[in-house]
Amino acid sequence: MTKSPSAAIVVGVDFGTLSGRAVVVRVADGAELGAAVYEYRSGVVDRVLPSTGVALPPGWALQVPADYLDVLRYAVPAALRDAGADPAEVIGVGTDFTSCTMVPTLADGTPLCDVPRFADRPHAYVKLWRHHAAQPQADRINALAEQWGEPWLARYGGLISSEWEFAKGLQILEEDPELYAAMRHWVEAADWIVWRLTGKYVRNACSAGYKGALQDGRYPAREFLAALNPGFAGFVEEKLAQPIGALGAVAGELSAPAAAWTGLPAGIPVAVGNVDAHVTAAAGNALSPGQMVAIMGTSTCLVMNGAELCEVPGMCGVVDGGIVAGRWGYEAGQSGTGDILGHFVRTGVPPEYAEQARAAGATLHEHLTRLASAQAVGEHGLLALDWHSGNRSVLVDHGLSGAIVGQTLATRPEDTYRALIEATAFGARTIIAAFNGSGLPVTELIVAGGLVRNSLVMQIYADVLRLPLSVVTSAIGPALGSAIHAAVAAGAYPDVPVAAAAMGQVRRAVYRPVPANADAYDALYELYVRLHDYFGRGGNDMMHRLRQIQREAVAA
């Protein structure tokens, strides 16, 4: 790695689902000089609203925006201390966020949940990306868009998600119209945090395109929104529209209050907000067509640039400049990966395994991984569907759920663990197959996120996908990506691709497919596809029926 004499540094801050992470990065070569994490105090609010103790309905997932500000207050100064860095050397700040995570605010950006008269109302809180209770609204939006032949629909693989800005916004209108009326802005958290840092509300091109249905400079039309609900007609101009900022551009200067929170110099450039997955493509220096970036954490986001506009069935979206200015950015995703494994480890593994892990000085994940690694492909006799959080691509259906087939009285926890890993790999394969089949061949998978540390997961993905796996070596890829955008915003590089080439941290082809394993997985993938299509494409609608029965049971 070339060392630069320059002492210039940038700060990147990544706002995840459970915590925020700040990293201090050298502009010259991307070296990570220090980092810190801050766990959100309220975490994910998905059972009861803390202010009232009232239970939330199934599918709800909220957050408390004060937690995000605490990341600025605690993680940023801690990262500077960890780096032993002089804050005066920091030339820029960049941020990225989970998405679509939405904050309802007053005109000045104050979250409605911070307004005392609204604090008891669930809709006043941040709707986290994985809030799935707006599915009925999403279904109506999709049905109407298809009926009207809305041109933007194909840019989202034919379906928009219940996670996105319109469905979540319509849910507020229909469930709490008074609150909807009081909401002046419906803000991506990615932009809200930049607003807090700069005092200016700039809407980033990535969120606006992928989650806000902004295509070719236009949002869905007023008539379309009125047809969904007359009260929704003005949603775009009244709640959503805002000047767009390109990725890597300057959103504003660090304000005095934000300088006080972070310990950074007031007045330095703050980059336009960004989305955690998309910004990671820069961290992995993977901005060329064919290079698909998989950010594998609780869920997996897959992003890839293309030179041209194609329509990939079931993709999340294609946005001009959505990953890097001047290219078509494609996004697809898996709603649950690490989350599924984490849920299993928390709820499905007996005490003796916990004791064995402790005795071996390993985490339960490590212990199960070691046991599962000893197996040949197919040895456990199981096949699972990775839809515990629904299916984001290619089925785009959050009414789906998980499944596992093949259990016997000899099935052990490590068998299920491995089957769940494999299910997520098969899920990734359905997505890559859709890209390959749409004229966007995928030739390399560049992997980032927490699951990178699990070499069994990595090898299974290489085998199932028959692709070399390159690894983003940064411990916090998105934060590094944000730092790269900060460097561009600060003028240290002319554009993001040049900055990514200098600052990206990646090892190429760390995992390669083992042909015998890949052959064996082909046979299992065939079975996966049958199960996928049976439950996911209308062969058996029972997952939706079960969800409906569940909703009725809970309501009664």
Only segment of 89-97, 239-247, 261-269, 526-534 that touches a copy of itself (CB under 8 A): 526-534
Contact 358, 351 (CB under 8 A): no
Question: Under DSSP, is residue 219 helix (H, G, I), strand (E, B) or coil?
Answer: coil
Using CB under 8 A, count the residues that bind a copy of itself: 57
**Interface pick for a copy of itself out of 116, 230, 350, 361 (rule CB under 8 A):** 350
CB nearer a copy of itself, residue 224 or residue 535: 535
CB of 524 to a copy of itself, least distance (A): 7
CB nearer a copy of itself, residue 214 or residue 382: 382
Contact 79, 35 (CB under 8 A): yes
Show the site string, 304-343: x = touches a copy of itself by CB under 8 A, - = not: --------------------------------x--xx--x
Helix (H) or strand (E) holding 351: helix 351-359
Rule CB under 8 A: say whether 556 interacts with a copy of itself. yes
Rg over CA atoms, the chain: 23
CB nearer a copy of itself, residue 184 or residue 343: 343
Rule CB under 8 A: say whether 542 interacts with a copy of itself. yes
Cis amide leading into 394 (omega within 30): yes
Sheet containing strand 506-511, strands side by side: 317-320, 328-334, 300-306, 291-296, 444-448, 469-472, 506-511
Helix (H) or strand (E) holding 440: none
Rule CB under 8 A: say whether 57 interacts with a copy of itself. no
For residue 285, give the nearest of 6, 480, 96, 5 by alpha carbon. 480
Alpha helices per DSSP H over 185-319: 189-198, 205-210, 222-228, 235, 256-262, 276-283
Contact 413, 350 (CB under 8 A): yes
Show the site string, 391-430: x = touches a copy of itself by CB under 8 A, - = not: ----------xxxxxxxxxxxxx-----------------
**Interface pick for a copy of itself out of 217, 347, 361, 538 (rule CB under 8 A):** 347
Show the site string, 149-178: x = touches a copy of itself by CB under 8 A, - = not: ------------------------------
Only segment of 118-126, 173-181, 371-379, 504-512 that touches a copy of itself (CB under 8 A): 371-379
Only segment of 92-100, 269-277, 446-454, 536-544 that touches a copy of itself (CB under 8 A): 536-544
CB of 111 to a copy of itself, least distance (A): 25
Rule CB under 8 A: say whether 535 interacts with a copy of itself. yes
Rule CB under 8 A: say whether 359 interacts with a copy of itself. no
Rule CB under 8 A: say whether 543 interacts with a copy of itself. yes
- What is the footprint of a copy of itself within residues 60-79 (CB under 8 A)? none
Rule CB under 8 A: say whether 537 interacts with a copy of itself. no
The angle, 0 to 180 degrees and rounded to 10, between the axes of the packed helices 455-465 and 364-373 is 50
- What is the footprint of a copy of itself within residues 18-47 (CB under 8 A)? 46
Return phi, psi of residue 349, to 5°. Answer: -125, 130
Residue corresponding to tokens 């969120």 = 207
CB of 410 to a copy of itself, least distance (A): 7
For residue 22, give the nearest of 321, 284, 263, 375 by alpha carbon. 263
CB of 53 to a copy of itself, least distance (A): 18
Contacts of 120 (CB under 8 A, 6+ apart): 49, 51, 52
396-to-191, 196, 317 alpha-carbon distances in Å: 25, 33, 11
Rule CB under 8 A: say whether 54 interacts with a copy of itself. no
CB nearer a copy of itself, residue 223 or residue 552: 552
Helix (H) or strand (E) holding 244: strand 244-245
DSSP letter (8 states) at residue 99: T
Neighbour tally for 155: CB within 10 Å: 24
Rule CB under 8 A: say whether 122 interacts with a copy of itself. no
Strands (E), 143-189: 185-188
User: What does the binding site for a copy of itself look like in residue numbers (CB under 8 A)?
Assistant: 46, 58, 336, 339-340, 343, 346-351, 354, 375-383, 388-389, 401-413, 520, 523-524, 527, 530-531, 534-535, 540, 542-543, 545-547, 549-550, 552-554, 556
